[in-house]
Structure 1
Amino acid sequence: MYKFFTLAILCLCVTSATGQAQPQATPSSPQGQLIHPVPPVGDLESAIGTLDAPCSGGHAVDPDQAMTQRVRGCGRDLQAAARAGSPSTGGGSGSTPASFPMGPCTSADFAAATGAAFVEMVATSTDACLDQMWTFDGDVQTAISPGNVMLIAAAIEVEAPDLLVNAERLRRMCYFYQIAFYHQFYQASVAYDDPTFAAAVQAMVTVGQQPELITVNPPESLLSQWLVSIDSTDASVQLMAQLQAVLERYSSDPAHEDDYQERLMAYRCLFSLARQIGNENNAGGVSSPWYSAVPPSLVAAVGVLALDTTYTADSEYVVLNALWVMNRFAFLEQGTRDAAHDILTQAYNLHLPYSGPWLRAVTDLDMQFDGLLYGGGSLDLVQIRADVMAIALPNEYLFDQGRLKFLTAIDLDVANQLYDAIQEVESQFYRKSGALEAVPGDTNEVLTLVIYGSPQDYSNYQPFLYGLSTNNGGIFIEGWGTLFTYDRTPAQSIYTLEELLRHEYTHFLDSRYLITGSFGEAGTLYQGNRLVWYNEGLAEYLVGSTRVNGVLPRGILLDRISTDSVRLTVADITSATYGSFTFYRYAGVYFEFLEEQRPDLLVALFDAMLGNDIVVLDALYATMANDPQLQVDYDGFIDAQIALLQQGTGLFAEDVPTVATPTTLANDNAGQVLAQLQSVLPGGGVFHVWANRFQYQFSETTPLGGQPIEDYRESTDLVLD
């Protein structure tokens, strides 16, 4: 048996920083850096959305995409984190009581239920069962039909008057609304008419009108979920008195600041106020239902939180979000706008300079009032920004003759280690994809890495310095050629800084060398969410890049798949959208599977990207999604990899430390590299030289002698490494 091979070999010549530059007082920055403040993050970090949550960016062509608070998306992340009991600060537990009815169940079970049986299933299922409906498919569409939304509304109307007895049933029905209206926003195939919306809103109002809901000792689980669901259904504007009551209750007892659930409920009130007022202002301006409708007492209740100087590290985000609501109040009529201006000025004068609340007040005063203080005076924004840069990002390191720049709080040793990591990613990216030239229109010759020293610094300084959202683990702004992230500890994130940087750096390489057009741009391969699974899967896959072991499977992805009750199919993966984050791990492992067992499909996939051919790409997706044997092989690959992981017998990315970039290679060493390649590979190949990298391309025909092609490729890769 004979096989014809064409191998592209890439060898990199690199240089590293040899010293530390002095901090720049006024480093270059995108224009308008202070005019787009974003909502501060809350107390919760959703592990499943850490890398690229759709509500928080991950990869955006321009900053406006990253600044936008996506409707309902973040509420889903918060709810998922609360259920998982995964607070980023402050502890607390959101685990489901063991007395709840148990599964198993699937979205198909909900789709099959009708009438009273459907209502009962929603009202008595575990959260784990209800969570099956977050992953959208045809069964979910049936389950969240307008008719079922109306059925749940009718049930809530009947059960709400006996609120304490029915508290958990009501909570689950409210949770169903959160899921349903989330999909209504993201899925074009889900549409609710005005009567359906009105019924859902009225159901939320009925719950809010019950005197037992907001008391000294409320049914916290129901109240907390209801605060999310009134936002999901856009019912908040009819429930301002209840929102005020929740905020006043929080402020009435200093001990609430130390209570996770109390902070969460206050945050959800503020989140809904800010998002709803902002959305309605964008949609209707003076026609907003909030215009001339917010009572001074509600402004005052939010103001108490905005001016709280006794906050702790756990409760600071409540203060930040109260200030953000003041920013939103400034969109309203003059009386409310003046009151917000006054409170923001008080916050600027009251809070510790350069603290999170102080910078939040500065940012909001700049956006809404051009930096003018209430009663007279103005902010020196240029000096403030210079001061904050010196505090947050004091170091600048240059690599690769200035083509890679770090603006950071980390030291040079850490920067060198991160440089080594992304060199491994870059090398494997070029080898696997065969891409070397930038796509037409890409201008990101220089990449800037902005890395803060901690999650707290990222939260405090990023909105002020760059006007970007911080409810993410990192984000690549394609239009700026800049990647933002922060250092973190294992207690703060399941992903290390290096893993995050490897992931986001892949987005940079992918957008520069493979995908024509800007992220999300209409008329490109991005249109219609076509590249969602590909972008994130490739990034998750290349996190496992090594210098001498190719791209290794990642144990963390396989470990999470091993606990999934239902696995995503190839069809699920290739049609995934950002409505769910489960696909990240499956798409990453799918790339590993293609590399190991179906390199022909992987090559075809990269060729379609390089060719910028939508027709070819869609046909390839259809082929993969409808190939039963491919599905069987993929399932078997996952099972085999999980077995190796659990037995401790396989080699995984986590087992191989990052290797330092060689420092012995001289500049302009093309001849040295060519001689080395020809000593181990056939002669007569074509040697291409690019800036800081080389490609040696050759072909050979070789007998396999019954050896599987994937084994031959692996052994060849080892020689090349």
Structure 2
Amino acid sequence: MRKLFGRRSLSALLPLALACSIGAGLPPQPAAARTGAPVSAAHAAAGGGKHTGPPPLAQSTTAETGHIGKGRSKVSELPPLAAGTGAFRKKKTAAAAAACDVDDFTSRSGSALVKLIQASTTDCVNTLFNVTGDDAYKAFREAQMTTVAYALRDGSASYPGDSSTGMPQLVLYLRAGYYVHWHHPDTVGTYGTALRTAIRSGLDAFFASPHSRDITDANGETLAEAVTLIDSAEENARYLSIVKRLLADYDSSWNASPWMLNAVNNVYTVTFRGHQLPEFLTAVEADPSVLDSLYGFASSHLALLGTDQSYLTSNAGRELARFLQHSTLRTQVRPLAVRLLKQSAITGTTAPLWVGMAEMTDSYDKANCSSYDTCDLQSRLASAVLTVTYPCGSGITVKAQQMTSGELSSSCTSLRDQGAYFHNVVRDSGPVANDHNSTIEVVVFDSSTDYRTYAGAMYGIDTNNGGMYLEGDPAADGNQPRFIAYEAEWLRPDFRIWNLNHEYTHYLDGRFDMAGDFNAGVTTPTVWWIEGFAEYVSYSYRGVPYPEAMTEAGRDTYALSTLFDTTYSDDTTRIYQWGYLAARYMIENHRADVDTVLGHYRSGDWQAARTYLTSTVGTRYDNDWHRWLAGCAAGDCGGAAVDECTGGDTRELGRNCRRSDQSATTGNHAYLYLYVPAGTTRLRISTSGGTGDADLYYSDQGWPSTTSYTRRATGAGNSHTLTISNPPAGAHYISLYAVSGFSGATVSTSY
């Protein structure tokens, strides 16, 4: 599984779902772009002895945490962020990163260090989560951390409720220190009583500051990070009063401030991770009023369910029920959990609360399931939620929450036709040895919200992603592989199952290319192929441009030889966009090498494949790769549909060719056409590149317009694709409608 988390605080799109019910402690959350997946990990030894609690979070303080998938678990990227959500702090730019020099921090101490931190940007301080070696010691040894913790104390006395005095930077620096110390304890050295005294004084002073109660984004930035710092410093037990305070103080006025929402949501980090600390349990046993606070918040804010702040209520219920894991607290938790379950339902707007709590009762108090009415939870969820079962043929069965007959038919056609395309690309000779996964179950939830609500409880997976394929043990009798996906509700009224073809490629690839189960397949770095090839098939099969990958090609970030080392611990851009580029380059330019590598993958000789990639291929193609990337960035990656069409009429398209430099003024059209021969099974029409905003219209009856057309692909920008199955022989007509004036667009066709 990938272990990917963003660093600084994200908004409510990635609420803290906290569905993990196993493991000795959460790992640190390293840098990443958009998704996260938890893993269980034993506590690591540190310089001064053994850690007693979970490692500190990296910069993301609201990354969703979920279950761990079993078997071959391949996850996909999240959908685009919904309007009004996403990171509300600007992303770090290359210029900002370049202007931030770690030597400035490692060469200072005392007041000079404090002044530098306060004068730095939070983007700059973010980079310090990555320091290693001697820099880690110089920046974050106990004396340095103690100095900064006392600066937090001193600054809190006159805290103005905003960042003007550098308070967010101080808190973030301390969080970075705990994070780096966890990963490199021997390098950084012991954290002992001196730092614990200092950090307590700093947090005490901050939370005592009157302006720490301001309901503003300006205060929320520091407050949200300070709440996470409680957990980083393993002071979860000491600051239960702050957990209760924020839960009690929240009201609808907080909803206007993303940072304040972040702050209240981060209290669930304190409770969730506190279970790993013995003193936390002792504190709750001595004063269990935090249980009443969690219950009171959920019960008082049921109206949030179904809104953008739904996660606040569902997380409160989930975290209350998580205390069922402690036998000393069950008598207090049970009646509260029963009441909340009765105030919610397995479906509808209250489902996130019911399912989250039911999942905890199933994990920690299953013997008493009848008390909660949560017995046979997975079966009950499947019956209540996945009401549609549709056999596609070819061993494919769709189980859906809600799909029309037309949607089922078109989705099944896409999957069935993809099989032939896949086999044509990989040139396999049948399933790998001992792979009995002859059928696939395709689970489709009605939206990303439904996916996050139900999939973790039903299938034991992380849901902070765009879908997941679970292979299981392909050699085991009765094993049922499945992939779990959802409708892309942000594309409605158009229907699309997000990552449908990507996930199906994982199934096909696992059956015909990758011996054994998922764990066997990642004993050496194979992610460049696993995810890159799934992206390649998904985009090339559908004839869809991949503008994000083309943008990355222009950055020329990685050598091809470097990408063969990609693992799931790398960031999503490297895994997906760069994986796509590497797979495409190798398939379309060095087919013999791909055949050799796949031969080793199919026999399970992972080391032979690894040796071939790193030694025989090695850096041989790196120079040509960089040249190819430059061409890709300019719109010419080689392969199909890259040559200009040759017909004398500049409007005429053809088989696997393009017409560049299309343009039209606002409200007008650019027109093109092509002739398709009889027996054509699939026609793809794609637009990409240029400036402005062009929508794509198609007809097989005459020139299409915005009111008369057979098919259309609309939306911001010029990247659109239409796929027409079994087009009639003869003339086909295409128009690009200028929503706003566009120029430099390219139209390509393939069949």
TM-score, normalized by the shorter chain, greater than 0.5: yes
Following superposition, the deviation at residue 661 of structure 1 comes to 7.6
> Deviations along 1:632-677, whole A, 9 cap, x unmatched?
33233222222228986896796543453899xxxxxxxxxxxxxx
Check whether the contact 2:432–2:512 (CA below 8 A) recurs between aligned residues: yes
Which residue is equivalent to 1:507?
506
Check whether the contact 1:537–1:585 (CA below 8 A) recurs between aligned residues: yes
Which residue is equivalent to 2:725?
660
Which residue is equivalent to 1:315?
309
Structure 1 residue ranges without an equivalent (≥5):
1-34, 40-45, 58-69, 281-287, 664-717
Which residue is equivalent to 1:172?
169
Check whether the contact 2:134–2:187 (CA below 8 A) recurs between aligned residues: no
Distance 1:516 1:75, change over 3 A: farther
Does the alignment pair 1:149 with 2:140? Answer: yes
Which residue is equivalent to 2:537?
542
Which residue is equivalent to 1:330?
324
Q: Which amino acid aligns with 2:392?
A: F
Aligned residue-pair number:
575
Q: Secondary structure at the match of 1:543?
A: helix
Which residue is equivalent to 1:268?
266
> Deviations along 1:590-640, whole A, 9 cap, x unmatched?
21222333334333332332242233233234348952x633332332222
Check whether the contact 2:272–2:319 (CA below 8 A) recurs between aligned residues: yes
Distance 1:405 1:94, change over 3 A: closer
Q: Which amino acid aligns with 2:461?
A: L
Does the alignment pair 1:527 with 2:523? Answer: yes
Aligned equivalents of 2:202 and 2:34: distance in 1? 30
Which residue is equivalent to 1:76?
60
Which structure has more relative contact order (CA 8 Å, sep 6+)? It is: 1
Distance 1:74 1:146, change over 3 A: closer
> Deviations along 1:221-249, whole A, 9 cap, x unmatched?
11112333443454434432223222222
Distance 1:596 1:184, change over 3 A: farther
- Report matched runs for 1:57-456 at 5 Å: 76=60, 78=62, 91=84, 94-96=87-89, 103-106=95-98, 109-110=101-102, 114-116=106-108, 124-129=119-124, 140-142=131-133, 145-150=136-141, 153-160=145-152, 161-163=154-156, 164=159, 167=163, 169-176=166-173, 195-196=190-191, 204-210=199-205, 211-212=208-209, 214-217=212-215, 219-250=219-250, 253-257=251-255, 259-277=257-275, 279-280=276-277, 288-294=278-284, 295-308=287-300, 309-312=302-305, 313-332=307-326, 334=328, 336-352=329-345, 354=347, 355-356=350-351, 357-370=353-366, 372=368, 377=371, 379=373, 381-382=375-376, 388-423=381-416, 425-456=418-449
Q: Secondary structure at the match of 1:449?
A: strand
Which residue is equivalent to 1:49?
34
Which residue is equivalent to 1:639?
630
Aligned equivalents of 1:421 and 1:184: distance in 2? 50
The structure with the greater share of residues assigned to helix is 1
Q: Which amino acid aligns with 2:264?
A: A
Check whether the contact 2:505–2:537 (CA below 8 A) recurs between aligned residues: yes
Aligned equivalents of 1:463 and 1:402: distance in 2? 25
Q: Which amino acid aligns with 1:557?
A: A
Q: Secondary structure at the match of 1:381?
A: coil
Aligned equivalents of 1:260 and 1:38: distance in 2? 30
TM-score, length basis structure 1: 0.68
> Deviations along 1:77-107, whole A, 9 cap, x unmatched?
84799xxxx9966835754479x99934359
Following superposition, the deviation at residue 486 of structure 1 comes to 1.0
TM-score, length basis structure 2: 0.66
Q: Secondary structure at the match of 1:145?
A: helix
Q: Secondary structure at the match of 2:311?
A: helix
Distance 1:291 1:113, change over 3 A: closer
Check whether the contact 1:330–1:337 (CA below 8 A) recurs between aligned residues: yes
Within the candidate set 611, 614, 622, 2:614 is matched to 622
Check whether the contact 1:101–1:126 (CA below 8 A) recurs between aligned residues: no
Which residue is equivalent to 2:678?
none
Check whether the contact 1:392–1:457 (CA below 8 A) recurs between aligned residues: no
Check whether the contact 1:351–1:358 (CA below 8 A) recurs between aligned residues: yes
Following superposition, the deviation at residue 259 of structure 1 comes to 4.3
Aligned equivalents of 2:64 and 2:296: distance in 1? 29
Q: Secondary structure at the match of 2:304?
A: coil
Q: Which moved more, 1:639-648 or 1:315-324?
A: 639-648
Check whether the contact 2:359–2:457 (CA below 8 A) recurs between aligned residues: yes
Following superposition, the deviation at residue 182 of structure 1 comes to 5.7
Q: Which amino acid aligns with 1:223?
A: L
Aligned equivalents of 1:353 and 1:73: distance in 2? 32
Q: Which amino acid aligns with 2:510?
A: S
Check whether the contact 1:56–1:471 (CA below 8 A) recurs between aligned residues: no
Distance 1:346 1:482, change over 3 A: same
> Deviations along 1:489-511, whole A, 9 cap, x unmatched?
3379xx99545122222222222
Q: Secondary structure at the match of 1:483?
A: strand
Aligned equivalents of 2:173 and 2:383: distance in 1? 47
Which residue is equivalent to 2:9?
none
> Deviations along 1:140-172, whole A, 9 cap, x unmatched?
434862432226513422421213269464423
Check whether the contact 1:463–1:469 (CA below 8 A) recurs between aligned residues: yes
Following superposition, the deviation at residue 322 of structure 1 comes to 0.9
Distance 1:455 1:636, change over 3 A: same
Check whether the contact 1:421–1:498 (CA below 8 A) recurs between aligned residues: no
Following superposition, the deviation at residue 302 of structure 1 comes to 1.5
Which residue is equivalent to 1:575?
565
Give the superposed CA RMSD: 4.4
Check whether the contact 1:406–1:449 (CA below 8 A) recurs between aligned residues: yes
Aligned equivalents of 2:195 and 2:507: distance in 1? 43
Which residue is equivalent to 1:517?
516
Distance 1:231 1:559, change over 3 A: farther
Structure 2 residue ranges without an equivalent (≥5):
1-18, 24-30, 41-53, 66-78, 473-479, 638-659, 663-684, 689-718, 729-749
The structure with the greater share of residues assigned to strand is 2
Q: Which amino acid aligns with 1:314?
A: D
Distance 1:635 1:184, change over 3 A: farther
Aligned equivalents of 2:629 and 2:727: distance in 1? 35
Distance 1:204 1:600, change over 3 A: farther
Q: Which amino acid aligns with 1:542?
A: V
Aligned equivalents of 1:184 and 1:527: distance in 2? 28
Check whether the contact 1:330–1:341 (CA below 8 A) recurs between aligned residues: yes
Check whether the contact 2:355–2:457 (CA below 8 A) recurs between aligned residues: yes
Following superposition, the deviation at residue 319 of structure 1 comes to 1.2
Following superposition, the deviation at residue 344 of structure 1 comes to 0.5
Q: Secondary structure at the match of 2:266?
A: helix
Check whether the contact 1:474–1:486 (CA below 8 A) recurs between aligned residues: yes
Check whether the contact 2:456–2:463 (CA below 8 A) recurs between aligned residues: yes
Check whether the contact 2:402–2:445 (CA below 8 A) recurs between aligned residues: yes
